[in-house]
Amino acid sequence: MMIRDYQDTSPKIHDSAYVDPQAHVSGDVVLAADVSVWPMAVLRGDVHKIRVGKASNIQDGAVCHVSHDSKFKPGGRSLLIGEQVTVGHNATLHACTIEDLVLIGMGSVVLDDAVLESKVMLGAGALVPPGKVLESGYLYVGSPVKKARKLTDSEIEFLSHSAGHYIEVAGEHRKCW
C-alpha cells in the first residue's frame, strides 16, 4: 500500500481503518476508526490537511485533495469529510466540507469551499461549484448541481446502511492479505 510521508508529516491511520494496497495516502491525512480507502483512490494532503471521519468510505478511483495558501486562497483550504460518508467511485473532492451521513455519487465533482450538509445525496456525475452549500435532507443532481427533491425516510436510513456495508466489506478484504 502506498502510504507516504510528505516533508515532515505522516498520515495517521486508525488501527481499524482499511487502506487497500493499491490506494495512495500521503501527507497530512487522518483516517478515523472504520474508514475504508479502496483501490486507486488518492488522498493527497500535501499542501493542507485531509480529515476523514469514522465509518466513511472512499471508493475506487476517488481523488481527494486540498488547496494551497496563496493570494487567491489565503491560508489555503483543507478537505473535511464527516462520519458515515460514502464517496462513490471516481468522485473528486477538492478543498470542500462534507458533513455526516452523505452519499457522493459516482463521478461527482465537489469543488473548493463547497459544503454538503448532513444527510445529503449527491447524484452520479454531479458538479458542485465552488462555495455552493447543499442543504441537509435533499437529493441534488446535475452539472451544475440543482436541488431535485426532499429525501425519503428510507433514503436517509440508506446513508447509514451504506457506510456500515463498507465496514463489513473492508473486514472481508482485510482477511485476504
Q: What domains sit in the chain, N to C, each tagged with a CATH number? A: 2-174 (2.160.10.10)
E strand map for 76-175: 79-81, 86-87, 92-94, 97-98, 102-104, 109-110, 115-116, 120-122, 127-128, 133-134, 138-141, 146-150
pTM of the shown model: 0.97
Query: What percentage of the chain reaches a pLDDT higher than 90?
Result: 97
List of residues 6+ apart from 154 with CB closer than 8 A:
none
Write the pLDDT tens digit of every residue in 70-129: 999 999 999 999 999 999 999 999 999 999 999 999 999 999 999 999 999 999 999 999
Task: Work out the mean pLDDT of the chain and round it to a whole number.
Answer: 97
User: Between 1 and 67, where is the model more confident?
Assistant: 67
3-state helix, strand, coil in the chain (%, to 5): 10, 40, 50
- Cell 440543482 belongs to 146
Closest Cα to residue 29, out of 47, 14, 43, 8? 43
- CA torsion angle 41 47 53 59 (round to 10): -10
Q: What's the pLDDT score for residue 104? A: 98
